[in-house]
């Protein structure tokens, strides 16, 4: 059973979301402060964090930024901060999704289910997933099943969203992918209004992959992965 932590100071919202998720078959714990949530995470890592932003003892954005230094646990922000810049900031911190208040608990459950389906599909892939890929002077070792990524021998940590995007690029190596392709395949988003979400994740991914020419921008359309599989792949 998947374990979900809800970090939300509004008790009515917290308990309402908890009930809906429990009815959907999840194990759920709720926390009203960042301090209690941090203590729980240090004892047991959840499968997902549903994170409010404005809490009595701090900022949820800052909290997730701190968590991201040591963990790639999936995160969905659920917050009243609805400005586009806030959504982009949340995604820049490595969140997998961002839902604005007020929201339907049923919609949140559907997003949680979609996220777990994507994660489970990746981990349950029985095919060979270890690849060595080159681009310029860059050498990438990537194994989507074990979540291993090395660039020129150095370990690189990706969020779940970044890992899905990279796997999708590699699967479609040398093909031009539109933002809509990336959003639909990796996030189940259909709206063009989410285009900046794709751009933000890819910006973060590029920064982690270093100065090598892995991802090319196709102006006015989208992106293309231009690495090639090396004969060193196993």
d(CA 32, CA 36): 7
pLDDT value of residue 185: 84
The whole-number mean pLDDT for each consecutive block of 10 residues of the chain, a chain of 234 residues, reads: 96 94 96 96 95 94 90 89 78 82 89 84 61 90 85 89 89 91 78 70 90 91 89 53
Structural domains of the chain, ranges and CATH numbers in brackets: 3-123 (3.40.50.2300), 130-229 (1.10.10.10)
pLDDT value of residue 8: 96
pLDDT value of residue 232: 56
Handedness of CA 94, 80, 198, 166 (dihedral sign): positive
What pTM does this model have? 0.72
Query: What are the beta bridge partners of residue 127?
Result: none
Whether the Cβ atoms of residue 8 and residue 63 lie closer than 8 Å to each other = no
């Amino acid at each position: 059973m998947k374990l979900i932590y809800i970090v939300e100071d509004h008790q009515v919202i917290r308990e309402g979301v908890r009930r809906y998720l429990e009815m959907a078959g999840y194990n759920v714990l709720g926390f009203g402060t960042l301090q209690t949530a941090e203590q729980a995470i240090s004892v047991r890592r959840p499968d997902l964090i549903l994170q409010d932003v404005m809490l009595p003892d701090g900022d949820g954005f800052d909290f997730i930024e701190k968590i991201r230094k040591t963990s790639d646990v999936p995160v969905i922000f659920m917050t009243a901060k609805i400005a586009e810049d806030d959504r982009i900031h949340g995604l820049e911190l490595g969140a997998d999704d961002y839902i604005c208040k007020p929201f339907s608990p049923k919609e949140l459950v559907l997003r949680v289910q979609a996220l777990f389906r994507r994660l489970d599909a990746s981990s349950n892939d029985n095919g060979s997933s270890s690849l060595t890929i080159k681009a310029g002077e860059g050498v990438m070792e990537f194994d989507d099943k074990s979540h291993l990524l090395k660039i020129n021998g150095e370990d690189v940590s990706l969020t779940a969203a970044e890992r899905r995007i990279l796997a999708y690029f590699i699967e479609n190596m040398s093909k031009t992918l539109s933002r809509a392709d990336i959003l639909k395949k990796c996030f189940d988003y259909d709206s063009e209004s989410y285009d900046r979400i794709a751009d933000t994740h890819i910006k973060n991914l590029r920064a982690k992959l270093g100065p090598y020419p892995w991802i090319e921008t196709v102006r006015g359309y989208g992106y293309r992965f231009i690495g090639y599989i090396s004969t060193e792949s196993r």
